[in-house]
Amino acid sequence: MRNISLLFRSVVKSLILVAVLSMAAVSARAQDAKEGATLFKQKCTSCHAPNLTSDMVGPALKDVTKRHEEEWLLKWIRNSQALVAAGDKEAVALFEGHNHVVMTAFPELTDDNIKGILAYIDEASAAPAPTAGAPGEAGAAANDDVSNFMLFGLIAVIVIAFIVIIVLNRVIRTLERIILNKKVLIEEEEEEEAAAGKNYLATVKRLAKNKKLVFFFVFALVAFLGSAGWKTLWNVGVHQGYKPVQPIKFSHQLHAGVNQIECQYCHSGAFKSKNASIPSLNVCMNCHKYVTASEKYNGETSPEIQKIYNALDWDGQKYGPNQKPIQWVRVHNLPDFAYFNHSQHVVVAGVECQRCHGPIETMDEVYQYSPLTMKWCVNCHRETEVNHKDNAYYDKLVAAHEKLKKGDKITAASLGGLECGKCHY
């Protein structure tokens, strides 16, 4: 009987091991600091992508400098409607070919500004273009691979389970034969087990009288509870993985991942202020005046986009008087005594958004990726190398040190002491 029990236990252990392995198998820009890239992200990203061959809200820009003369592009970007009104053939054809969608005029841009933007587009056009197609098409291909993998994994699990069932069936038959043929042996074993149980209770009573053993057990229990309590207290206020439900199901994976909209287009504050800022609904309307995703909802506007229209009291032609803000739920929340400046990290240090916020371009629902604890920030500051070349902030510090060596006068203003953020958080 003991041999059979051992056999049965080994089979169960093997089954558990196979199940665990099967489950494991199944579940198994840089910021371009140049003027052209910066201007493109600020003024063009809402309607264009620099390296797409298919149209977005505006025409595809890949190799645009090969399709049009530079002088014509300067006039078109600065004021497209002036060219259309003048009867320029290229301008009229482009305007009519895109359903008379009016391109925003940029009279404030100089020729050098526009040439910088065109240079950035040429550079981006040389890079491999993203796969054209409906949003999520690449994800669908990946999902097909995953689905095939899961299918084969499930088939393997079923085959293994079938083999295990056959083995267990043979074990059960063996047990039945032993029970029928050796009832006496079973009774003796039961008597032995009963005696062993009595011996076990006697052993427990004897050990309970051992003061050293009791002291060691109590000490170990106190150490375990103290360690668990310390770990719990240490993680008070740490909200890593926090993912609140937002009033609008905004997908960063669709906007920042598939459509490649730059983070700074919506969160413009990250480029110039302490806070990254949440974009106003007017920024959303730059695209969603035209993009309604109606093709997915039988000609009706997407329910999530309709929430934007309702908040702005937009009837498709004009805004109404009953406008109200969207009550977004804050995800990342530092304590009041912790000062963090987005522009200092994004512009001066060149830190990418993903360094703190994780792979935001893959998130359908945003969650807190990093712990945002003091230890985590300090470790980042210890490991991050400072790139001081061609950095105006560090150039000022070098110049100030050179003045100190010469004995010249140094004021707080020359070290950035006139910046508002020095006093006003």
For residue 148, what pLDDT is reported?
Answer: 62
Final residue before a domain boundary, out of 109, 132, 155? 132
Q: In total, how many domains does the chain have?
A: 4
Please name the helix (run of DSSP H) or strand (run of DSSP E) that holds residue 22, with its range, or none: helix 2-26
Question: Do both 171 and 258 map to the same domain?
Answer: no
For residue 143, what pLDDT is reported?
Answer: 42
Question: Do both 10 and 75 map to the same domain?
Answer: no
Final residue before a domain boundary, out of 209, 231, 265? 209
For residue 30, what pLDDT is reported?
Answer: 35
Q: Is the pLDDT of residue 422 over 60?
A: yes
> pTM to 2 decimals?
0.46
Question: Do both 167 and 118 map to the same domain?
Answer: no
Q: Which has the minimum average pLDDT: 41-55, 65-79, 405-419?
A: 41-55
Higher pLDDT: 374 or 390? It is 374
To the nearest whole percent, how much of the chain has pLDDT over 70?
83
Final residue before a domain boundary, out of 209, 241, 261? 209
For residue 296, what pLDDT is reported?
Answer: 87
Question: Do both 374 and 271 map to the same domain?
Answer: yes
**60: domain CATH number?**
1.10.760.10
Question: Do both 280 and 372 map to the same domain?
Answer: yes
CB 44 within 8 A of CB 117: yes
For residue 33, what pLDDT is reported?
Answer: 34
For residue 204, what pLDDT is reported?
Answer: 83
Question: Do both 39 and 60 map to the same domain?
Answer: yes
For residue 144, what pLDDT is reported?
Answer: 45
User: Is 55 part of a structural domain of the chain?
Assistant: yes
Q: Which of 286, 293, 289, 290 is nearest to 258 (CA)?
A: 293
For residue 122, what pLDDT is reported?
Answer: 79
Structural domain boundaries enclosing 270: 252-383
Question: Do both 302 and 365 map to the same domain?
Answer: yes
Locate 168 and state its tokens: 């267990």
Question: Do both 303 and 163 map to the same domain?
Answer: no
Instruction: Give pLDDT tens digits for 70-129.
Output: 888 888 888 888 888 888 888 888 777 776 777 888 888 888 888 878 787 877 777 665
Instruction: Give pLDDT tens digits for 141-151.
Output: 434 444 566 67
Q: Which residues have a Cβ under 8 Å from the Cβ of 280 and sit 6 or more positions away?
A: none
Tell me what the pLDDT averaged over the chain comes to: 80
Locate 156 and state its tokens: 């393997």
Question: Do both 128 and 143 map to the same domain?
Answer: no
| 10-25: average pLDDT | 57
Confidence of residue 9 (pLDDT cuts 50, 70, 90): low
User: Is 52 part of a structural domain of the chain?
Assistant: yes
User: Is 243 part of a structural domain of the chain?
Assistant: no
Taking the alpha carbons at both ends of the chain, their separation in whole angstroms is 77
d(CA 145, CA 157): 18
Q: Is the pLDDT of residue 360 over 90?
A: yes
For residue 125, what pLDDT is reported?
Answer: 72
Confidence of residue 140 (pLDDT cuts 50, 70, 90): very low
d(CA 272, CA 396): 19
Q: Is the pLDDT of residue 135 over 50?
A: no
Confidence of residue 284 (pLDDT cuts 50, 70, 90): very high
Q: Which residues have a Cβ under 8 Å from the Cβ of 342 and sit 6 or more positions away?
A: 269, 270, 271, 273, 274, 275, 276
User: Is 168 part of a structural domain of the chain?
Assistant: yes
Question: Do both 81 and 11 map to the same domain?
Answer: no
User: Is 241 part of a structural domain of the chain?
Assistant: no
Question: Do both 40 and 127 map to the same domain?
Answer: yes
For residue 107, what pLDDT is reported?
Answer: 84
CB 117 within 8 A of CB 77: yes
Question: Do both 267 and 398 map to the same domain?
Answer: no
